[in-house]
Amino acid sequence: TKINFKVIETDEINAFANADKEICVYTGLLKFVNNDAELAGVIAHEIGHIVNNHVAKQNVVGTITSTAIYNANVSSSVKAGANTVNNLTMLKMSRTEEYEADITGVDLIAHAGYNPLAMVSVLYKIGGSYADFTSTHPSGDKRTMYIYDYITYTYPDKIKAGYTTDSYKKFMVYAKPIVDERNSNPKKLAAFNKQQAKLKQKRAQKLEKYKTAKDSNGWEKTFNTFNTIKAITN
């Protein structure tokens, strides 16, 4: 899938995918992330919406809502700026689509050589102090825990490597008691492993679909998209 990138000059912290398979990144986000890996995590989430055809299913025009980033108040100047870019439709995704885009993003950045815990770090920093981004977005704690659990089961070496940002450390204050309690309870641990095994199998099936999609340039080529991240940040 050919994906184009646009950069919008504004201090707002935002990024979104639109129906034209474009990913728009606000310059405020570039200042907000700690490193390239966190930016990769946000962009990978947006790519997740595109490759899973979430964007193609949406017919919402002019909805000002972020698919990855909390954006409580959009000023008139930001709206005007967005109107200068062709067809910048910010799409309202379902909770299920948000979760699917998140773990697709994890697979993308892990395969591209980034530590996927960067995604936990940036999303917790953005959403960890809020309840729900919108009525359809999972809460910051629940969403980051879902990502963390997927990484725990699918990429255990990344969990062992850890992550050093303050936001990740704060997330672990929340997550560690949950993990410890689960690990100490054989029934809960077995249920967790069963759930994650099913999710991993589902992701493997999705991966095969990505590879064979007629309108795709190939899953492997999708990773070349991340070369754009360095171009954006430099």
Q: Is 46 a catalytic residue?
A: yes
Give kind and range of the element (H or E) at residue 24: strand 22-26
Question: Which position has the token pair 């000059």?
Answer: 9
Contact status, residue 226 vs residue 25, Cβ threshold 8 Å:
no
Within 10 Å of residue 229's Cβ, how many Cβ atoms? 23
- State how far the alpha carbon of 55 is from the alpha carbons of 20, 74, 185, in Å: 9, 21, 40
140-154 and 117-127 helices cross at what angle (nearest 10)? 170
Contact status, residue 44 vs residue 109, Cβ threshold 8 Å:
yes
The catalytic position among 22, 46, 97, 100 is: 46
CA distance 108 to 222: 8
Q: Which pairing describes strands 4-8 and 15-17: parallel, antiparallel, or unpaired? A: unpaired
Question: What beta strand segments (E) does 121-182 contain?
Answer: none
Contact status, residue 12 vs residue 74, Cβ threshold 8 Å:
yes
First to last CA, the chain: 25
Beta bridge partners of 23: 5, 17
Q: Output the CA torsion 54→129→72→28 (10° steps).
A: -80
Which amino acids are annotated catalytic? Answer: 46
